[in-house]
Amino acid sequence: MAEDKVKILYFSWIRERVGLNDELVSMPDGVKTVAQLLVWLQGRNEQFAAAFEFPEIIRVALDQEHADHAQDLGKPSEIALFPPMTGG
């Protein structure tokens, strides 16, 4: 069901490597923290392995708020994954 799915957005070179702007994902059981999400994403396929090769540098936003890797995912409707920002 759509209610169980979460929208994941990818930006910058993460978007280019995974080949997607965004997708709807069913979060697997056992993925409870940001760090666990990154491990799971890395294992999905070769493209995701390349995008998440160095998970420690990936920034994560839960419902548009910056989140630490140790943080619980909770039940966000939107998760964004991106490299360190270079605006300004």
Partner 1 sequence: MATKPIVRVQCDDFDQAAEIRDLVASNHDIGAIATFIGLCRSEGESLSALELEHYPGMAESQMENCASAACERWPIDKMLVIHRYGVIQPGEQIVLVVAASRHRDAAFDGARYVMDFLKTDAPFWKKEHRSDGAAGQWVDARDSDETAKERWK
Report the residue number, 40 or 83, with the smaller CB distance to partner 1.
83
For position 71 contacting partner 1 by CB under 8 A, the verdict is no
Give least dist CB 65 to partner 1, A. Answer: 8
- The secondary structure of 17-71 as a DSSP string is HHT-SEEEEEPPTT--BHHHHHHHHHTS-HHHHHHTSSGGG-EEEETTEEE-TTS
For position 86 contacting partner 1 by CB under 8 A, the verdict is yes
The binder of partner 1 chosen from 13, 45, 53, 74 (CB under 8 A): 13
Distance (Å, rounded) from C-alpha 29 to C-alpha 32? 8
Number of other residues whose CB lies within 10 A of the CB of residue 18 = 21
Stretch that binds partner 1, among 10-18, 35-43, 47-55, 68-76 (CB under 8 A): 10-18
> Interface with partner 1 by CB under 8 A: which residues?
9, 11-13, 15, 61, 64, 66, 80, 82-88
